[in-house]
Amino acid sequence: MTDRKTAAIEIDPSIHEQVKTEIKILNNLADLEYNSSLDKKKKKVVKPVQLTLRSYSEAALSYFMKNHIDPRSMGEEKDVLTEVRKLRNNVFSFMQVQERTYLMPFVQDVYELKNKADTLEDTSFDMLNLMEIFIDLLLAGLGLSEQEQEAHKARAAKMFAQKKMNHKPKKG
């Protein structure tokens, strides 16, 4: 069992009176809440224990110790809205740094890859056209008749068309 010693601490009388008034208000609110919960629930509700100056002071001191709050800095904290804005600004700043560090270089790389793919596609079509021209010249140089040349051209065109269809990118 803990041995409690009576400690005499001198407190400003005006603060002492304010605390007494606050305790009365808190006790009245607890009683009102208790009475209203009795009416609504129709169940047995535990009646709240009345606050005393001692229990109020002990709870306040415990709160300060548990939360590592320096009572000398009380009243200096900013309102909740200011703190939320500060936190929001911190989050957005973090997101902006992440965007600059990771997202924008990634997007730039994707654009470069897309440009390279477009360039490769254009080059492939140019090479395909050159190959068709080469086939025309080759067939003409072999001394084949016009009809035979047209048959070979038609067969080559059919093969090229088939390959183009197989390599077309799917758009979704």
Give Cβ neighbours of residue 86 (< 8 Å, ≥ 6 apart). 78
CA 33 from centroid of its chain's CA atoms: 39
Q: In the 8-state DSSP scheme, what is residue 99?
A: I
The CA-based angle 116-121-124, given to 5 degrees, is 125
Report the distance separating Cα 123 and Cα 131, nearest Å: 12
Three-state DSSP class for residue 6: coil
Task: Work out the average pLDDT over 43-67.
Answer: 84
Answer yes or no: pTM beyond 0.75. Answer: no
Report the distance separating Cα 53 and Cα 87, nearest Å: 37
Task: Work out the average pLDDT over 115-135.
Answer: 87
Task: Work out the average pLDDT over 151-167.
Answer: 81
Task: Work out the average pLDDT over 52-76.
Answer: 82
Provide the b/e sequence for 16-40 (b: ≥16 CB within 10 Å): eeeeeeebeeebeeeeeeeeeeeee
Question: In terms of pLDDT, which residue wins out, 105 or 35?
Answer: 105
pLDDT computed for residue 128 by the predictor: 81
CA–CA distances in Å: residue 107 to residues 5, 75, 170 = 69, 47, 22
